[in-house]
Amino acid sequence: MNDAAIVIPMYNEEAVIENVLEELLQKVPYDIIVVDDCSTDNSYQKACKKGVYLIRHIVNLGQGAAIQTGIEYARRLGKKYVVTFDSDGQHSVEDIEPFLEKLRNDEADIVLGSRFLGKTENMSTFKKYFLKLSRYFTYMTTGIMLSDSHNGFRAINIKDFPNFEIKQNRMAHASEIIDLIRKNSMRYVEMPCTIKYTDYSKQKGQSTLNAINIVFEYLTGRLIK
Ligand X SMILES: Nc1nc2c(ncn2[C@@H]2O[C@H](COP(=O)(O)OP(=O)(O)OP(=O)(O)O)[C@@H](O)[C@H]2O)c(=O)[nH]1
Instruction: Report the site for ligand X in 127-186 (rule: CB under 6 A).
Output: 152
Contacts of 183 (CB under 8 A, 6+ apart): 163
Distance between CA atoms of residues 82 and 39, nearest Å:
23
Instruction: Report the site for ligand X in 19-58 (rule: CB under 6 A).
Output: 37
Distance between CA atoms of residues 136 and 143, nearest Å:
9
Q: Give SS3 for 180.
A: helix
68 sits near ligand X (criterion: CB under 6 A): no
> Which amino acid type is present at position 87?
S
> Which amino acid type is present at position 17?
I
- Which range touches ligand X (CB under 6 A), out of 26-34, 84-92, 98-106, 216-224? 84-92
66 sits near ligand X (criterion: CB under 6 A): yes
Residue nearer to Mg ion on the CB measure, 90 or 138: 90
- Which range touches ligand X (CB under 6 A), out of 83-91, 98-106, 139-147, 153-161? 83-91
36 sits near Mg ion (criterion: CB under 5 A): no
Q: Angle, to 10 degrees, between the axis of helix 63-76 and the axis of helix 173-183?
A: 50
DSSP 92: -
Q: Per-residue x/- marks for ligand X, 187-216, CB under 6 A? A: --------------x---xx----------
Residue nearer to ligand X on the CB measure, 10 or 146: 10
205 sits near Mg ion (criterion: CB under 5 A): yes
Question: Nearest approach, Cβ of 13 to ligand X (angstroms)?
Answer: 5
Which listed option, ligand X, Mg ion, none, makes contact with residue 10 (CB within 5 to 8 Å by class)? ligand X
User: Which of 36, 37, 88, 190 touches Mg ion (CB under 5 A)?
Assistant: 88
Distance between CA atoms of residues 84 and 155, nearest Å:
7
Which listed option, ligand X, Mg ion, none, makes contact with residue 206 (CB within 5 to 8 Å by class)? ligand X
Q: Give SS3 for 34.
A: strand
User: Which of 11, 30, 73, 164 touches ligand X (CB under 6 A)?
Assistant: 11
Distance between CA atoms of residues 179 and 163, nearest Å:
12
The residue of the chain with the least Cβ separation from ligand X equals 205
Q: Give SS3 for 194.
A: strand
Q: Are 7 and 84 in contact (CB under 8 A)?
A: yes
Distance between CA atoms of residues 13 and 50, nearest Å:
15
Which residues are at the interface with Mg ion (CB under 5 A)?
A: 88, 90, 205
User: What is the contact surface with ligand X in residues (CB under 6 A)?
Assistant: 9-11, 13, 37, 60, 62-63, 66, 86-88, 90, 152, 201, 205-206
